């Protein structure tokens, strides 16, 4: 039980009496940081959440966007950080299960999963390696069992996550607009608990996730069962088709306590329920345990007497348990009984609305001199260094990860993982691109600009497929908000995201705030993760095979911005410098130009230039297509820089465009006319990746050797 003394006083004052033990447990779960967002809620309102495509309904657990022709997509993002740090397989798997049910709660079918993962330094840290390996397996097993493709994600390794894990899972749903659940309830309606049995696993999970991780509380980690989840999906969708659901909510953090109180509060109703009616896994569970258990694969449904028999029939057909645990009242109270005995009787507005905090913030002292660069050790052999960079965990190919995921099940995936963004086919002839991105190295150096950069990078990735960004998900992960310096980094990141979202008119359609991400070693780096959904009206850009003689054009300028770069941190072990900054006007110009030229249908490939800079982006194109390329560094647009800075700067708003000779003039005419900064920097051919300045070669690598290193290094590292 984790109520602060002032919160206990506040609760006592609001209800006018001393709370019962069960009431204390219910309120402690709902008022936890994980469920109430008490530190962040007043600030999250600054994000733009409305737009012409956004559909808002009370009580939804996921965002809804209208994609035309009577169809909608739904999207949500969740984390399972603390549980995954303790038990990575189960923690990661139940993270997938929870976000899938958020999608289901709107009445849409889940069609895709994306995951964002963060672990310690797997080159040196065996614990980080174990966490990474098991979290990936947990996500793969759960998604594969459900038959929902894991279409993309990203992974990063950093010492700040030592003995810890960040496991973020985003999910996408698809359905007809007319089938969306319109949450409503009438007095006398029945409250039904559907799905897995309630057990002692996950008890206190929301409080566990709302504090620094200092002990391995395995009782707070839930047990996954994807087979029950699969049956629940089919049960819910059939019940939806027969119009048997008045309102619905997933049971996630806080279990029944939060699902019941939040549903009642959102619909301005009361709910009376009996814990004896809840189907449990263990016979001797107390009311307190039943109310705060976070056992997985459970949904709360409001239906009525006339519809109940049909609902029960569908549940029996799919072998899914369901129990009528209560009914709707009109007194706006959450009344929890055990038989005839009252255990809790609280106003739903009190339970569902914790006192919001306006925490103090202060610029961290570590930022005072962070942009000052130190003298770097000279590199004698850039080719050798480049091979080392390509084998580094953050740059190496992630095929070992996504190779474990079934990304083709459901036959919607038209662009698979491993590209800039993945693309799904929709039933109305349109396509949906999706990508998630984060960069804690940049966010540590400059929380505002770093967060903007994550947003812009995710947009660039979907733009590379020909998709226009239509919605954003954010997952804001920080340390202890009670520390003013950490809270300042949260606010700065949020302000940056808000500015970018408003300028580009990309609404935030869902998100999550995860705080108290700390270990005994200290807080994690600020880690906002951004998911972007992009819509393609006609057809996506399918990368064609690059052949000898094709040209390489770069759009966007390369600047002296190496702070937080892989080059500074991995090669030189230097944390600091000037983090890349997004020029909004330049970003929009470049983004629109790339979308326009993709629409003209004369490009062979477009690739985002980001982590590892130009050197890595060009190498990726060469390694994937098994062809060499000669690149002239002096032709790269932007200020005149030393060769290593041109190669490894991670400046934003840059795209690599590949096309054949006959289309070069058309591209150049368009870019000149629209005042886009660009240049022809290279030509493909041969068996070597070469970067030269003047006539002096800086990097010269055999494509086959580079590819072998890039493909295999992560797998070899994991299997050690």
Determine the 3-state secondary structure of 664 from DSSP: helix
CB 554 within 8 A of CB 615: no
Beta-carbon neighbour count of residue 41 at 10 Å? 14
What is the DSSP pairing of strand 322-329 with strand 413-415?
Answer: unpaired
Helices (H), 435-532: 440-445, 447-463, 484-504
Residue 84 and residue 221: Cα distance in Å, rounded? 8
- Cα gap 226→143, rounded to integer Å: 8
Candidates 43, 80, 82, 607; catalytic one:
80
Q: Give counts: helices (H), strands (E), the chain.
A: 24, 27
Q: How far is CA 448 from CA 493, 494, 498, in A?
A: 4, 7, 10
Instruction: Measure CA 331 to chain center.
Output: 38
What is the rounded distance in angstroms from the CA atom of residue 624 to the CA atom of residue 15?
A: 64
Residue pair 266/112 in contact by the 8 Å Cβ criterion: no
Tokens of 137: 């397996």
DSSP 156-171: EE-GGGTT--EEEEEE
Closest listed residue to residue 273, CA positions, set 263, 284, 253, 282: 263
Indicate the SS3 state at residue 298. strand
User: Virtual CA dihedral for 543, 548, 551, 556, nearest 10 degrees?
Assistant: 60
In 3D space, the residue among 52, 145, 37, 160 whose CA is nearest the CA of residue 524 turns out to be 160
Say which residue the tokens 């600054």 belong to: 46
Q: Helix or strand or coil: residue 86? A: helix
* Residue 559, φ and ψ in degrees, nearest 5: -115, 170
Residues whose CB is less than 8 angstroms from the CB of residue 350 and which lie 6 or more positions away in sequence, other chains included: 11, 14, 15, 27
Longest dimension (CA), the chain: 88
Q: Where are the beta strands (DSSP E) in 50-149?
A: 63-68, 71-79, 109-119
The one catalytic residue among 34, 327, 475, 652: 34
Closest-CA residue to 255 (of 363, 101, 374): 101
Locus of tokens 């174990």: 130
C-beta of residue 270 within 8 angstroms of C-beta of residue 348: yes
130 CB-contact burial (10 Å; exposed 0-12 / middle 13-18 / buried 19+): middle
Give the phi and the psi of residue 334 in degrees, each rounded to 5: -100, 105
DSSP state of 414: E
Active site residue 475: no
Give CB contacts under 8 A, 24+ apart, made by 175-179.
Answer: 175/71, 175/72, 175/74, 175/106, 175/107, 175/108, 175/109, 176/70, 176/71, 176/72, 177/55, 177/66, 177/70, 177/71, 177/72, 178/70, 179/107, 179/108, 179/240, 179/241
**Strand, coil or helix: 479:** coil
Side-chain half-sphere CA neighbours of 118 within 13 A: 27
HSE value, Cβ hemisphere, 13 Å, CA-based, for 244: 23
Element (H, E) at 679: strand 678-684
Any idea which residues carry the catalytic annotation?
34, 80
């Amino acid at each position: 039980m984790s109520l602060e003394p002032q919160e206990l006083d506040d609760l006592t004052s609001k209800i006018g009496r001393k709370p019962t033990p069960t009431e204390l447990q219910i309120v402690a779960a709902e008022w936890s940081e994980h469920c109430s967002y008490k530190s962040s809620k007043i600030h999250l309102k600054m994000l733009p959440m409305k737009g012409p495509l956004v559909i808002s309904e009370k009580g939804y657990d996921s965002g809804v966007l209208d994609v035309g022709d009577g169809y909608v997509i739904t999207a949500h993002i969740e984390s399972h950080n603390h549980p995954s740090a303790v038990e990575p397989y189960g923690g990661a798997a139940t993270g997938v299960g929870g976000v899938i049910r958020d999608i289901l709660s709107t009445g849409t079918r889940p069609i895709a999963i994306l995951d964002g993962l963060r672990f310690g330094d797997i080159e040196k840290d065996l614990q980080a390696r174990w966490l990474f390996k098991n979290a990936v397996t947990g996500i793969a097993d759960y998604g594969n069992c459900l038959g929902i493709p894991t279409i993309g994600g990203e992974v990063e390794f950093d010492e700040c996550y030592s003995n810890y894990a960040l496991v973020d899972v985003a999910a996408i749903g698809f359905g007809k607009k007319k089938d969306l659940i319109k949450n409503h309830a009438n007095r006398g309606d029945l409250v039904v608990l559907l799905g897995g049995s309630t057990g002692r696993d996950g008890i206190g999970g929301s409080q566990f996730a709302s504090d620094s991780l200092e002990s391995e509380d395995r009782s707070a980690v839930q047990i996954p069962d994807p087979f029950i989840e699969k049956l629940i999906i089919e049960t819910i969708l059939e019940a939806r088709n027969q119009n048997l659901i008045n309102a619905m909510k997933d049971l996630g953090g806080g279990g029944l306590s939060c699902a019941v109180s939040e549903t009642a509060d959102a619909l301005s109703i009361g709910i009376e329920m009996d814990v004896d009616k809840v189907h449990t896994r263990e016979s001797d569970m107390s009311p307190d345990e039943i109310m705060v258990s976070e056992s997985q694969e459970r949904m709360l449904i409001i239906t009525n007497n006339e519809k109940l028999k049909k609902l029960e029939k569908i549940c029996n057909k799919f072998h899914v348990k369901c129990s009528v645990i209560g009914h709707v009242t009109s007194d706006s109270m959450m009344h929890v009984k055990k038989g005839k005995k009252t255990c809790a009787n609280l106003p739903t507005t009190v339970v569902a609305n914790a006192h919001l905090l306006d925490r103090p913030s202060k610029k961290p002292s570590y930022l005072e001199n962070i942009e000052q660069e130190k003298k770097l050790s000279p590199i004698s052999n850039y080719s050798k260094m480049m091979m080392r960079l390509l084998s580094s965990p953050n740059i190496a190919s992630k095929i070992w990860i996504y190779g474990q995921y079934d990304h083709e099940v459901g036959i919607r995936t038209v662009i698979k993982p491993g590209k800039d963004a993945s693309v799904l086919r929709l039933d109305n002839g349109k396509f949906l691109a999706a990508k998630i991105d984060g960069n804690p190295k940049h966010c540590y150096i400059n929380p505002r600009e770093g967060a903007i950069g994550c947003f812009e990078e995710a947009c660039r990735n979907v733009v590379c497929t020909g998709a226009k960004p239509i919605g954003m998900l954010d997952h804001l992960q920080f340390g202890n908000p009670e520390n003013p310096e950490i809270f300042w980094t949260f606010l700065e990141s949020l302000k940056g995201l808000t500015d970018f979202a408003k300028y580009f008119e990309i609404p935030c359609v869902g998100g999550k705030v995860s705080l108290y991400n700390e270990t005994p070693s200290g807080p994690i780096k600020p880690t906002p993760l951004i998911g972007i959904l992009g819509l393609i009206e006609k057809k996506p850009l399918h990368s064609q095979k690059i052949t000898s003689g094709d040209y390489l054009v770069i759009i966007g300028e390369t600047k002296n911005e190496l702070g937080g770069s892989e080059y500074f941190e991995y090669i030189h072990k230097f944390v600091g410098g000037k983090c890349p900054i997004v020029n909004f006007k330049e970003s929009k110009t470049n983004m629109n130009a790339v979308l326009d030229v993709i629409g003209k249908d004369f490009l062979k490939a477009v690739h985002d230039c980001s982590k590892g800079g130009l050197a890595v982006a060009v190498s990726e194109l060469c390694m994937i297509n098994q062809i060499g390329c000669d690149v002239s560094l002096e032709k790269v647009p932007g200020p005149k820089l030393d060769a290593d800075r041109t190669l490894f700067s991670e400046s934003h708003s840059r795209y690599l465009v590949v096309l054949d000779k006959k289309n070069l003039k058309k591209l150049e005419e368009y870019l000149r006319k629209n005042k886009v900064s660009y240049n022809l920097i290279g030509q493909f051919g041969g068996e070597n990746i070469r970067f030269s300045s003047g006539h002096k070669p800086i990097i010269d690598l055999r494509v086959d050797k580079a590819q072998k290193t890039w493909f295999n290094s992560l797998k070899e590292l994991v299997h050690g």
